[in-house]
Amino acid sequence: MTSDVATATSVKSEVPAATPAVSGKSRLGRLVLILAACALLAGGGYYAWQRWSAQNSPATSHLTAVVTRGDLEDTVTATGTLQPKDYVDVGTQVSGQLKQLHVDVGAVVKKGQLLAEIDPSVYQAKVDGDRAQLLNQQAQLADKQAQLLLAELQLARQQNMMRDDATTADALQSAEATRKSASAQQDALKAQIQQTGSTLRGDEANLGYTKIYAPIAGTVVSQAAKQGQTLNANQQAPIVMRIADLSTMTVQAQVSEADVPKLRIGMDVYFTTLGGDKRRFYGKLRQISPTPNVVNNVVLYDALFDVANPDRALMTQMTAQVFFVASSATNAVLVPLTALHPLAAEEPLRVPGVAAGSAAEGNAAARGGGAPRASGTDARSQFVNGRALVIVVDTNGKLAEREVNVGVMNRVSAQILVGLVPGETVVIGTKVPAAAVPARTSSSLVPAQRGGHP
């Protein structure tokens, strides 16, 4: 029994010894959880602070673009149609049935080549009748000439007899009258022969017109008459076909009255066609029509230029998208047009939400949103003097105004002659409302960078 008590006592003494170890592990777990929670809160706070700082930094609150190098064109666009520069509508000068066509549409013909024939039966009959009449009149003329010769001989005999007083005055006068009559009849017949000859030549010409020849070398681009068709040339000359020289095409572009002052004779121009795989065809402006076409109250002027077509890739009535090159620059320093701001304005440029009195970088934020412009006006008109301001973002994310010299501009990009180099970053707009951009003093800008390279 004593041993049982001793055993129980020893067991009881072992239980309290294990309790401190379990309690220490629990406290260590709670400490680890607390530290992890603190670290998580600290990381989240740091991340939120970074996001807040980034959103409120000048560099990230604006839309920016990198200054690049490339080619630039300022163009006037128009839509036009293609026509052969040289073409002839071949018609007929005589009426009749179109007896035979010797060519089809698309045929290439030479100058003087026979194209078609009109039934010549009626005209051949007229020519034959004229020739017969002419032969008859020539025979009559020979008779009249013989009669005149006889009258002259009889007159000479009467004159000789009158000198010998062997005839009467009446006989002499009769002989003189007979001679004059024979001479007049001969002259009248000569006139009739001339008239008949003229008629014959006209009828021979009409007979020749029954055969239609090519007036120029080219391609038959259209055919208005069919073989066997009766053509009436009494009212107007019927068109049989059109022959065009397709080696040179003329583009007739319709330019709006607002863009006509930008055009000048001899300026470079190019165009593309709908199915031309963006191939460009080049030429020079030849003519601006002084008479406009008014289409739906829109005043349009025809601008014409020629383009070589050696491979016959261009065809009649094709639609052309035309670009008149007003100015151009190659390998130029380029920025978006929205990066430019007027230099001459004394008052700060603002957008809604920017309080009056905001200083330099606040103004920069407003300028980054684009200068206010009247609706329908060309933004390029603000920089016709070749000077502008841009807002540059430096390597530290700070904004700085800089004056630049502007060259060629179109509605998208502008050439910078002096003031920027490729690789720099400029502001072209704002990502956040302008009111959210903190105002800074003008000392935050870098005036030393105005008007030159950094």
Q: What is the 3-state secondary structure (H, E, C) of 80-96?
A: EEEEEEEEEEEECCCCE
Tokens of 292: 């406009």
Q: How many CB atoms lie within 10 A of CB 421?
A: 11
**Position 306, amino acid:** D
- 190: part of which helix (H) or strand (E)? helix 169-209
User: For residue 395, what are the CA distances in angstroms to 59, 120, 368, 432?
Assistant: 10, 91, 18, 21
Q: What are the Cα distances from residue 54, in Å, to 48, 224, 236, 241, 346?
A: 10, 75, 82, 75, 32
* CA dihedral angle for residue 151, residue 157, residue 160, residue 163, rounded to 10 degrees: -80
- Distance (Å, whole) CA 265 – CA 268: 9
CA angle 286, 288, 292 (to 5 degrees): 155
Q: Would residue 54 count as lying in a domain?
A: no
What's the DSSP call for residue 409? Answer: E
Give the residue among 333, 449, 444, 447 at the shortest CA–CA distance from 59: 444
User: Of 163, 179, 209, which closes a domain?
Assistant: 209
Extract the tokens encoding 77: 């666009």
User: How many domains does the chain contain in total?
Assistant: 2
Report residue 146 as tokens. Answer: 């013989």
Is residue 78 exposed (0-12), middle (13-18) or buried (19+ Cβ within 10 Å)?
A: buried
- pLDDT the model gives residue 276: 75
Beta-bridged to residue 385, according to DSSP, are none
Asked if residue 329 is part of any domain, the answer here is no
Residue 286 within any structural domain of the chain: no
Q: What is the pLDDT along the chain (454 residues), one digit of tens a residue?
A: 444 434 443 434 444 444 444 455 567 767 777 777 777 777 666 666 555 555 555 555 788 999 999 999 999 999 999 999 999 999 999 999 999 999 999 899 999 999 999 999 999 999 999 999 999 999 999 999 999 999 999 999 988 998 888 888 898 899 999 999 999 999 999 999 999 999 999 999 999 999 999 999 999 999 999 999 988 888 777 899 999 999 999 999 999 999 999 999 999 999 999 887 789 999 999 999 999 999 899 999 999 999 999 998 999 999 999 999 999 999 999 999 999 998 755 444 433 333 333 444 444 444 444 444 444 567 788 888 889 999 999 888 889 999 999 999 998 999 999 999 999 999 998 875 544 444 443 333 444 344 444 3
Q: Write down which residue in 177, 209, 241 finishes a domain.
A: 209
d(CA 2, CA 422): 102
Q: Which of 209, 228, 253 is the last residue of a domain?
A: 209
Token pair belonging to 399: 């904004």
Cα separation, 188 vs 307, whole angstroms: 62
Q: Which domain holds residue 147?
A: 120-209
- Residue 334: which H helix or E strand, with range? strand 319-336
pLDDT at residue 58, rounded to an integer: 55
| 129 domain residue, yes or no | yes
Paired strand residues for 109: 218
* Closest by Cα among 431, 424, 451 to 334: 424
Specify if 392 maps to a domain: yes
Half-sphere exposure of 153 (CA within 13 A, CB side): 6
Q: Tell me, yes or no, whether 149 lies in a domain.
A: yes
DSSP structure class, residue 438: P
Closest by CA to 433, choosing from 168, 27, 109, 62, is 62
In-domain check, residue 355 = yes
Q: Judge whether 248 lies within some domain.
A: no
**CA–CA distance, 122 with 271 (Å, rounded to integer):** 52
Specify the pairing of strand 387-393 against strand 425-430.
antiparallel
Question: Cβ–Cβ contacts within 10 Å for residue 322, how many?
Answer: 24
